[in-house]
Amino acid sequence: MRRNQLNYMFMNILIENCDTLEYLTEAGQWTKNPRAGKCFPATKAAVQTARREAIATFNIVCHIPATNQFVNLDHGRGRGLPEAGGQ
């Protein structure tokens, strides 16, 4: 029984773009598939990375693949989207 409990404890800490509901990947792209998202070792590391991304707002979420559940851990603002025309 303990082995089952450990399997359910496995989780991924991900960055979610609030506008698109996509997750940041290792390659710096965005995906709808949370299993393809970049896993961070801690919430703090995810927040630091998310603040450097060209997104308006983000959520740091815990994804539990075994049950496909999500838990919101933190949120904030990225550096924003580049303005049209490069100004």
Mean pLDDT for the chain overall = 88
Burial class (CB in 10 A: 0-12, 13-18, 19+), 58: buried
pLDDT digits 0-9 by tens, 59-68: 999 999 999 9
- The pTM of the full predicted model, rounded to 2 decimals, is 0.83
d(CA 38, CA 26): 5
d(CA 18, CA 49): 15
Assess whether pLDDT exceeds 60 at residue 23: yes
